[in-house]
Amino acid sequence: MHLIDENATLAAGQQLASALPARLTIFLCGDLGAGKTTLTRGLLRGLGYTGKVKSPTYTLVEPYKDSRIVVYHFDFYRFTNAEEFLEAGLEEYFEGNGIRLVEWPDRAQPYLQAADLEVRLQVSASGGRDLELRALNREGQTCLERFVALSPN
């Protein structure tokens, strides 16, 4: 899906919010500035969250509990080794219901649980961003099918 600007990225996040179950792990992949946090902001707005949404680059995790589903937004960009995931005690966030949005998931492997859905964002040569969603299991497939069904095309 081509996203022509920031508003389109926010709208895609809102559309994804409408497709979410009560529990899902989503890997957000893309270079710096690709729109991962913007998509997250749209998703949270779609869930009814009205507060400030910021990148958890320095805090590692930002919990959002004032939306219809609890959302945990992770950013592992600053990890220098995967053991930092365990040292920070982050594995407990992956238990129970909630949505886990994970930026830079490769930096926490092999300790990070597998994703249900992978979201790839990249800056497009023609402007805007390109968005690709890939289901990695049954839960991810159900979410992806709901997302596509909500598409305005």
pLDDT tens readout for residues 102-136: 999 999 999 999 999 999 999 988 888 999 999 99
User: Residue 96: its pLDDT value, please?
Assistant: 87
Q: Which domain holds residue 33?
A: 2-135
CB-based contact 56:75 (threshold 8 Å): yes
Nearest Cα neighbor of 103 from 115, 86, 87 is 115
* Residue 148 belongs to a domain: no
CATH number at residue 37: 3.40.50.300
CB proximity list for 139: less than 8 A, separation 6 or greater: 21, 23, 24, 116, 117
For tokens 């049954």, the residue is 138
Could you give the number of structural domains in the chain?
Answer: 1
> 12-37 pLDDT, tens per residue?
999 999 999 999 999 999 998 889 99
Answer whether residue 59 is part of any domain: yes
- Could you tell me the strand order of the sheet in which 71-75 lies? 2-3, 129-135, 117-123, 23-29, 98-103, 71-75, 61-64
Residue 7 confidence (pLDDT) above 70: yes
The secondary element (H helix, E strand) that includes residue 83 is helix 83-87
- Give domain status of residue 26, yes or no: yes
Residue 140 lies in a domain: no
Tell me, yes or no, whether 147 lies in a domain. Answer: no
pLDDT digits (tens, 9 = 90+) for 64-113: 987 778 999 999 999 999 999 999 999 999 988 999 999 999 999 999 99
User: In the prediction, which pLDDT does 25 show?
Assistant: 97
In a domain, 25, yes or no: yes
Confirm whether 142 is domain-assigned: no
Place 153 in a pLDDT band, splitting at 50, 70 and 90.
Answer: low
Q: Which residue has the tokens 């600053």?
A: 78
